[in-house]
Amino acid sequence: MPKIINSKSQFLNGPNSRGSEFSFSVSVMLQLIKGFRKLHFIGPAITVFGSARFQETHRYYKWAYEVGHEISKLGFTTMTGGGPGIMEAANRGAYENEGHSVGCSIVLPQEQTNNPYMHKYIEFDYFFVRKVLLLKYSYAFIVMPGGYGTLDELFETLTLIQTAIIQDFPVVIYGTEFFTDVQNMIDNMIKEKTISSKDRELILFTDNTSEGIDHIRKYISSNYEVKEKKTKPFWWLGESSK
C-alpha cells in the first residue's frame, strides 16, 4: 500500500471512515461556496492556461504577457491559475495595462506560489474545485505551452464543450510547434473515429496573437451579449465588486 502523505491523498486511497468522507464533502462544499462568492462580481472573463515553469525572459512568458494585454483591451477579466510562469505573465499583461486580473490558485508543496499581478485571488486545496471556478466565469479559453496540468485543463474543457455541459466557447491554443503532437493526435482520433471531424472545429491553433484574439472577439460578438449584473455585493457573504 502506498504511503499516505496527507488528507488529500488519503481521500484518493480508497474507502475511508464515514466521518472523514463526510468531513471531506463539507470542506469541498465550503470551498465551492467561497469561490462563488469571491468571484461572483469579477465580470466576464477569459481563462489562460499554461506552465508555471517559464521564466520572465522566456519567449512564451513574453507571449502570455501580450495575450493578457490583449484581453484587457477586449474589456474582459484575465483569469489564470494564479501561479508563476505563463499564469503570472498573463495576469501581469492585464494588471499593468488597466485590465482586471484574477487568479484561482492551488495549495501545493512545490512550484505554486501566488504571483503579485492579481487584483483578486482565491486559494483552493483541490484541483477539481479549482478547475470548476476557472471554467465557470469564462467566455473563452486560451491555452499556452505547458505540462500535464495544462493538457488536463485543455482536454477537460474540450470534453465539457463537446458534451454540451458548457457552451461551445472558443478555445485558442498558442504554439503550433509546441503542440504539434497534440494536433497529430487529434487528427488520428478523427481518423480512428473516436471523435468526429466537427470536434476539430472547437479549437484554433495559432502562433499569431491577433488571430487568436480576433477569433475570440468575433465569436463572442456573434453569440453572446454581456450584460452588467445589477445585483449588489454583500460584504457578509464575502462578496466584493472590486
Q: Positive or negative CA dihedral for 213, 89, 148, 23? A: negative
Q: Which residue has the higher pLDDT, 29 or 9?
A: 29
Q: How far is CA 47 from CA 69, 121, 209, 224, in A?
A: 13, 13, 15, 17
Is 8 part of a structural domain of the chain? no
Residue 195 burial class via C-beta count within 10 angstroms: exposed 0-12, middle 13-18, buried 19 and up: middle
pLDDT tens, 41-63? 999 999 999 999 999 999 999 99
Is 17 part of a structural domain of the chain? no
Instruction: Report the chain's terminal Cα–Cα distance, integer Å.
Output: 48
Check residue 129 and give its pLDDT.
95
Check residue 104 and give its pLDDT.
96
Is 189 part of a structural domain of the chain? yes
Check residue 128 and give its pLDDT.
93
Is 146 part of a structural domain of the chain? yes
Q: Which residue has the higher pLDDT, 13 or 36?
A: 36
| Structural contact between residues 150 and 171, judged by C-beta atoms closer than 8 angstroms | no
Name residue 49's amino acid: F
The total of other beta-carbon atoms located within 10 Å of residue 33's CB is 12
Q: What is the mean pLDDT of residues 89-94?
A: 98
Q: How far is CA 190 from CA 139, 147, 194, in A?
A: 26, 23, 6
Is 77 part of a structural domain of the chain? yes
Main-chain dihedrals φ then ψ at residue 20, nearest 5 degrees: -70, -35
Is 72 part of a structural domain of the chain? yes
Statement: residue 3 has pLDDT above 50: no
Statement: residue 116 has pLDDT above 60: yes
Check residue 74 and give its pLDDT.
94
pLDDT tens, 153-170? 999 999 999 999 988 899
Check residue 18 and give its pLDDT.
86
Question: What CATH number has the domain bearing residue 174?
Answer: 3.40.50.450
Check residue 20 and give its pLDDT.
87
Is 191 part of a structural domain of the chain? yes
Instruction: State the residue range of the domain holding 89.
Output: 44-224
Is 229 part of a structural domain of the chain? no
Residue 143 burial class via C-beta count within 10 angstroms: exposed 0-12, middle 13-18, buried 19 and up: buried
Report the domain count for the chain.
1
Q: What is the mean pLDDT of residues 212-236?
A: 77
